[in-house]
Each structure stands twice: as C-alpha cells, then as structure tokens.
Amino acid sequence: MSNTYSIWPVILVPYNMPPRSGMKQSSFILSLIIPGEKSPENDIDIYLKPLIHELQQLWQGVQCYDVASGENFMMRAALLWTINDFPAYGMLSGWSTKDRFACPYCANNT
C-alpha cells in the first residue's frame, strides 16, 4: 500500500551568534511542522499565523530574564529572509509558479 504524505518544516536560525555556533543544527529552532497529505498551498498562511504573531511581538520587544547575569533584558527579533523551494516560494509570495509568468524574477521572460 502506497500513501503519499507531506511534511513542511519551518526552521528558524539565530543570526546573533558566531557563524560556527549559530549554523550548527543544535542552534536551529524547529518552530512549526505543517503536516498533510499534500502541500498546504493557499492555506499556508493559516499555519504561519501564530509564528507571524510571535515575530511581531518580538519585533516590539519582549521582557526576558538572563539566567547568567541575573538581569532582565528586552529581547527583539526580526525575520531577515526565507529560504525555500520554488513551490513554497509561490505559496509564501502569492505568485503562481505553474502558469505563464511562473518565475517572479524572470516575469515576461518566463
């Protein structure tokens, strides 16, 4: 019996650390897993909404406690970019990647 199943991980990578430690798998944050029998397509925003809400809160700043120093601090975060395959790029941008003008970069030269 053959079943198809799709899992879309959303991984956050902190960039406020030195590259040799920040780019290690142990530093990655698996923030979301989108499961399903097929890709989420236009419903991807439903899955991303809680993450977007938290990122908006972090943009404004969230009071945190630093155990090492014993002091409170204001933590802020920003989404710098996304790295994804072409189908996910289309879903995130709202651009059709299946028809004429499929490539947003090439546009008329597609």
Q: How much is the pLDDT for 7?
A: 87
Q: How much is the pLDDT for 56?
A: 96
* Statement to judge: residues 93 and 50 lie in one domain: no
Could you report the average pLDDT of every consecutive run of 10 residues in the chain (110 residues)?
81 88 89 87 88 95 96 94 84 77 68
* Statement to judge: residues 44 and 86 lie in one domain: no
Q: How much is the pLDDT for 82?
A: 87
What's the domain count of the chain?
2
* Statement to judge: residues 41 and 69 lie in one domain: yes
Domain range for 106 is: 80-110
* Statement to judge: residues 65 and 90 lie in one domain: no
Q: pTM of the entire structure? A: 0.75
* Statement to judge: residues 68 and 88 lie in one domain: no
Distance between CA 99 and CA 95 in Å, rounded? 10
* Statement to judge: residues 71 and 89 lie in one domain: no
* Statement to judge: residues 59 and 103 lie in one domain: no
Q: How much is the pLDDT for 109?
A: 63
